[in-house]
Amino acid sequence: MPTKYPHVFRPITIGSMTLKNRIQFSPIVSGHAETLTGASSNDLVEFLGAQARSGVGLVTIGSSPIDFDRARDFYGCLSVVRDSDVADLSVIADEVHRYGAKLSIELTHAGAISDPALLNGPAFAPSVIPGIHDPATTKEIDRAEMDEVKEHWVSCVRRLKRAGFDMAMIHGAHMSLFASFLTPLLNRRTDKYGGSPENRMRFPLEILEACREEAGKGFNLELRISGDERVAGGVSLEERIAFLNAAAAYVDLVVVSTGGFLEPYAVTCMIPSYHLPHMLNVETAAKIKQQVDIPVCVVGRITNIDEAEEILASGKADMVAMARALIADQELVAKAKSGRADEIRPCLGCLDCVRGPSKGAPLRCTVNPQAGREVKYREIPLARKKKRVLVIGGGPAGMTATRTLCERGHDVTLWERSDKLGGRLFEASALPQKDTFRAYIDWAVRSTSRCDAKIVLGKEATPEAIADEAPDAVIVAVGAELLTPRVEGIDSPSVITVTEADLGQKPVGGNVIVCGGGLSGSECALGLAMQGKKVVVVDILSKEELCQDAVDLVRLALLKLMDDYAVERVRGSVKSITSSGVVVALPGGAEKELPADTVVIAFGLRPDPAAIEPLLDVVSESYLVGDSHNVGSIFNANHDAFNVAVEV
């Protein structure tokens, strides 16, 4: 047994099955199933095979509706609603089992949080509540419909047993239909299924009892719940524990999540980004574990194997569920077990992995361009012809290109004009809560330095230098420069760039105006406010339009933190910068001068074609990647570079 992670690699018995370790691949919808029917695909089988190959003890497939007409919340989710699905489900079970993992699936009835576009009829809710539900698209579920819903869950369990699955997860969290019956915020029924805690528990317990009767002793059940709904007036912890003690007669494992859909902050907690605390639900899980007699698993921003070991060693949970970390590095558990934890690629917590599935497209990962593309890139192909390749620029795109080219067997040289690798990753990781970004920088620099490339720092690329190097191919990844518009006073001593502010390269006064409210400007403003500065963000866009390039859950969390730290927003355009502040042209034509000690300009990035194009003209096989090709995020840089390098 590995000495560094003894608790992670200690087997555990859950119901009738024994897991080889205590890591669960938490359910995440990958968007690989057929969009309309939910039929399985080779892409889905390979993606789930990669989950099992990661080394986890338990794989749980994400959000699969028990009824495609009334329960679905995603396009591209897997169907378990037809008897004809059993054959495809059996193929998945075989693929996961051959790597020694057990297999479960999250069975969901989204209820009132379903997308109306996915439903054939009104969404079901325990009660239709004005101001929360739309009566035109929501219906209070009646007794006959409740029986139908219960039978849908039971029939799904029956199919999973036939297909060779080991377990089914009943999704009772996040204010889905099951969870909605439990919370007084959403259940205002006057029959025996509403009112007292005992009445609100009645239908969920009926579902669990019926599923257990179908499951028997040889098939296992897990229950996902929100330990804390993160909304005032929600289910108390004491009531939650009472429900779980009643449910313990029917389930073998409880998975503690958090949040719900009633408030933006509660929504962000369901899939927490880097703006939320690490190990978000661990203390709640620990309190539940103390008072419930079934094994407890915890999920929620557990970002690495060391955190998993810490949770298990402290006795705060019996198992740990992770998803995004296991997508960022699809060998995470295997590397930890073999003593290669320093090789594990960190997850940023950027949530780009949920961007595609939220609209029915396949999952992609910012830091792992192979994830979700296992059919094509399970292994990076060796080059048919070895080439001498020159990569210019050591930022995220240049480093990804370099590592990929080396893995393909090319002879690679990387030139970086500064004295270190990393590029703009350093300023992108400046916020205190972006520690996962800083971990990624360390990994990227370390792994790039360890690959077989020749790395030359302090090297300025010129056409003459490229000609002297005489490479067969060139990849230009020189990034982009900060955009500095022609604004009167922009050269004033009080003006600094967002880079200088983020990296602490110049002093910042107590009264700050940030010009530009995109993601970089807004995060810079938050960082300064967290230092105690008074900060105003000026942007031509409204608050609702800011940071639209970020995943919505990241954006919501960022905007809440900006409100928490009293970052003010002024809508308007910067007309001029004076010795005492910024003159802003407001909508409607009026002007207003805002006082400031320091003005931070964050107008975005722009590549410099005059500097880039000569570098592309020396060698016929030349490519442009990253911000120098198309200004964007770390996701864009890594994928752009990988897509080119894997074809050179």
Instruction: Quote the CA–CA distance of 99 and 276 in Å, as a whole number.
Output: 33
Length of the chain in residues, anyone? Answer: 648
The pLDDT tens digits of the residues spanning 49-107 come to 999 999 999 999 999 999 999 999 888 999 999 999 999 999 999 999 999 999 999 99
Reported as type and span, the H/E element at residue 391 is: strand 388-392
Residue 421: count other Cβ atoms within 10 Å of its Cβ.
23
Instruction: Quote the CA–CA distance of 410 and 113 in Å, as a whole number.
Output: 50
Tokens standing for residue 197: 């805690």
Mean pLDDT, range 432-439, rounded to an integer: 95
Instruction: Quote the CA–CA distance of 282 and 288 in Å, as a whole number.
Output: 10
Has residue 467 got a pLDDT over 90? yes
Tracing tokens 């690679």 back to the chain, one arrives at 412
Instruction: Quote the CA–CA distance of 225 and 240 in Å, as a whole number.
Output: 9
Dihedral angle sign, alpha carbons of residues 295, 298, 303, 308: negative
- Contacts of residue 303, Cβ cutoff 8 Å, sequence gap at least 6: 278, 322, 324, 325, 346, 347, 349, 436
Q: Which of 364, 397, 566 is nearest to 477 (CA)?
A: 397
Judge contact between 317 and 296, C-beta under 8 A.
Answer: yes
Judge contact between 370 and 380, C-beta under 8 A.
Answer: yes
| pLDDT on residue 516 | 93
Tell me which of 193-202, 373-382, 531-540, 572-581 is least confident.
572-581
Q: Which of 390, 595, 449 is nearest to 512 (CA)?
A: 595
Q: Is 21 helix (H, G, I), strand (E, B) or coil?
A: coil
Mean pLDDT, range 454-483, rounded to an integer: 96
Average pLDDT in the chain: 95
- Please report which confidence band the pLDDT of residue 2 belongs to, taking 50, 70 and 90 as the band edges: low
The pLDDT tens digits of the residues spanning 552-570 come to 999 999 999 999 999 999 9
Has residue 254 got a pLDDT over 70? yes
Instruction: Quote the CA–CA distance of 478 and 392 in Å, as a whole number.
Output: 6
* HSE of 115, CA atoms in CB hemisphere, 13 A: 10
Has residue 439 got a pLDDT over 70? yes
Mean pLDDT, range 617-643, rounded to an integer: 95
Judge contact between 244 and 170, C-beta under 8 A.
Answer: no
Largest Cα span, the chain = 84
Instruction: Quote the CA–CA distance of 146 and 181 in Å, as a whole number.
Output: 11
User: In sequence order, what DSSP letters do the residues of 479-546 get, joined into one string?
Assistant: --EEP----BTTTSTTEEEHHHHHTT-S---SEEEEE--SHHHHHHHHHHHHTT-EEEEEESS-GGGT
Query: Degrees (nearest 5) of the Cα angle 180, 182, 185?
Result: 65
User: In sequence order, what DSSP letters do the residues of 150-189 get, joined into one string?
Assistant: HHHHHHHHHHHHHHT-SEEEEEE-TT-HHHHHH-TTT---
Number of H helices, E strands in the chain: 21, 27
| pLDDT on residue 116 | 84
Has residue 542 got a pLDDT over 90? no
Alpha helices in 233-281 (DSSP H): 237-247, 264-270
Judge contact between 223 and 245, C-beta under 8 A.
Answer: no
The pLDDT tens digits of the residues spanning 119-155 come to 899 999 999 999 999 998 999 999 999 999 999 999 9
| pLDDT on residue 546 | 84
Q: Helix-strand-coil percent breakdown of the chain, rounded to 5? A: 35, 20, 45
| pLDDT on residue 3 | 73
Judge contact between 386 and 409, C-beta under 8 A.
Answer: yes
Alpha helices in 281-395 (DSSP H): 282-291, 305-313, 324-328, 332-337, 374-377
**How far apart, in Å, are the Cα atoms of 383 and each of 305, 410, 475, 648?**
33, 7, 16, 8
- Contacts of residue 137, Cβ cutoff 8 Å, sequence gap at least 6: 116, 119, 122, 123
Has residue 23 got a pLDDT over 90? yes
Mean pLDDT, range 355-368, rounded to an integer: 93
Chain mean position to CA 406: 28
**Domains in the chain, please, with CATH?**
12-377 (3.20.20.70), 388-480+607-645 (3.40.50.720), 495-604 (3.50.50.60)
Judge contact between 187 and 199, C-beta under 8 A.
Answer: no
Has residue 589 got a pLDDT over 90? no
| pLDDT on residue 118 | 87
- Contacts of residue 587, Cβ cutoff 8 Å, sequence gap at least 6: 571, 572
Judge contact between 128 and 135, C-beta under 8 A.
Answer: yes
Instruction: Quote the CA–CA distance of 345 and 358 in Å, as a whole number.
Output: 24
For the chain, how big is the Rg over CA atoms in Å? 26
Mean pLDDT, range 441-459, rounded to an integer: 97
